[in-house]
């Protein structure tokens, strides 16, 4: 008989109050299309020659967890992942809803990590099984966000973490019915305060550059999680129709504010809707090509860089509006 079906599986997230907190109190579901969270164990290689032709026994070496979680962006659960990615959140009430502002964290979260830790629970959908995998001391290191025609806003979240274990399955409660994902048709782009419609698609990337630090500490797992390079939070790329003004802005190193607004389908209350907004206050075009690929309509690839803002202390600010109250994320 088959073991499990992906349609029966779930991925859940829980905020940890501290590193090593193995008993999360509240799990929340993460709608997903693919989960690549796995346990990675290096072999501790013994190259001793002891008179046999066969390789020595295997011994467990450096152990850590991680991988991508991919799916359409959900207006409720995305707050957990954004809080993990940015490290900070400021929440305020707006009518019947709540507005959450994410700015990149300026300092370390603790003496052992740059970002706040989370636990992830993965159940593979196996019938009759009452256990699931828990990935502990995890950090949201990367995000690739894509906007393309006839698609939902799509995110791939890169997770790194310390360890895994088998726990009693704790299925998270379902989100309220009627909450819909963000469609491409609800996206608007403005540059220097003016709306533009020449972009065909957008790809936005965020990388905390968190590295796993191994130390001689009596453990096979990472000892801490700190940055191994400059945080890269302001990069995005788009395919667009030809515009000489963009080429000139690249040559002249023109600084422009860029705003990407994604309207939600679900209404919170009268006049209050869900939305996701990305603001790059100091955007610069760093590359736009001059190619002519054929006789048809010419589209070009444009690369942007959002630069650091001394007022917000971040190259990009994300605002999320939904029904999740203060303190949940």
Q: What does the pLDDT look like over 175-208, one tens digit per residue?
A: 888 889 999 999 999 999 999 999 999 999 999 9
Residue 328 lies in a domain: no
The distance of Cα 239 from the centroid of its chain, to the nearest Å, equals: 22
Mean pLDDT of 122-147: 95
Q: Kindly tell me if the per-residue pLDDT of 21 is higher than 90.
A: no
Q: Per residue in 74-108, pLDDT tens?
A: 999 999 999 999 999 999 999 899 999 999 988 89
Average per-residue pLDDT for the chain: 92
Answer whether residue 139 is part of any domain. Answer: yes
Residue 243 inside a domain? The answer is yes
Q: How large is the average pLDDT for residues 114-127? A: 94
Q: Classify residue 117: in a domain, yes or no.
A: yes
Q: Does the residue 1 lie in any domain? A: no
The yes-or-no verdict on residue 23 having pLDDT over 80 is: no
Please say if the pLDDT value at position 244 is more than 60. yes
- pLDDT value at position 313? 82
pTM, entire model: 0.93
- 130 part of a folded domain: yes
Residues 6+ apart with CB under 8 A from 236: 202, 203, 204, 205, 280, 303, 304, 306
Q: Give the pLDDT confidence score for residue 35 in this predicted structure.
A: 97
What is the per-residue pLDDT for 24?
Answer: 67
Q: Is residue 53 part of a domain?
A: no
Q: Is a pLDDT exceeding 90 seen at residue 160?
A: yes
Q: What is the tally of structural domains in the chain?
A: 1
- Supply the range of the domain harboring residue 317: 6-39+59-322
């Amino acid at each position: 008989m088959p073991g499990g079906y992906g349609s029966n599986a779930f991925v859940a997230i829980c905020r940890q109050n501290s590193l090593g907190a193995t008993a999360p109190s509240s799990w929340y579901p993460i709608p997903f299309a693919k989960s690549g969270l796995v346990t990675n164990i290096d072999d501790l290689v013994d190259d001793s020659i002891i008179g046999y032709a066969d390789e020595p026994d295997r011994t467990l070496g450096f152990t850590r967890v991680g991988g991508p979680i991919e799916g359409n962006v959900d207006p409720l659960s995305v707050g957990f992942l954004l809080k993990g990615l940015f490290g900070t959140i400021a929440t305020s009430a707006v009518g019947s809803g709540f507005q959450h502002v994410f700015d990149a964290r300026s300092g370390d979260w603790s003496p052992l990590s740059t970002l706040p830790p989370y636990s992830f629970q993965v159940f593979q959908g196996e019938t009759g099984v009452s256990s699931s995998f828990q990935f502990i001391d995890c950090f949201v290191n990367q995000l690739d966000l894509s906007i393309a025609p006839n698609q939902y806003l799509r995110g791939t979240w890169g997770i790194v973490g310390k360890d895994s274990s088998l726990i009693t399955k704790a299925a998270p409660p379902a989100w309220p019915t009627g909450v819909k994902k963000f469609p491409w048709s609800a996206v608007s782009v403005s540059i220097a305060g003016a709306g533009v419609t020449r972009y065909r698609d957008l790809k936005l990337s965020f990388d905390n550059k968190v590295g796993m630090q191994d130390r001689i500490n009596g453990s096979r797992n990472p000892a801490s999680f700190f940055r191994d390079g400059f945080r890269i939070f302001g990069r995005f790329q788009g395919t667009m129709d030809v515009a000489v003004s963009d080429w000139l802005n690249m040559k002249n190193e023109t600084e422009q504010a860029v705003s990407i607004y994604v309207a939600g389908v679900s209404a919170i209350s009268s006049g209050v809707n869900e939305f996701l907004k990305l603001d790059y206050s100091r955007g610069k075009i760093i590359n736009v090509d001059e190619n002519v690929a054929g006789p048809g309509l010419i589209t070009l690839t444009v690369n942007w860089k959002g630069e650091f803002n001394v007022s917000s202390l971040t190259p990009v600010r994300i605002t999320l509006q939904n029904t999740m109250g203060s303190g949940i994320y």
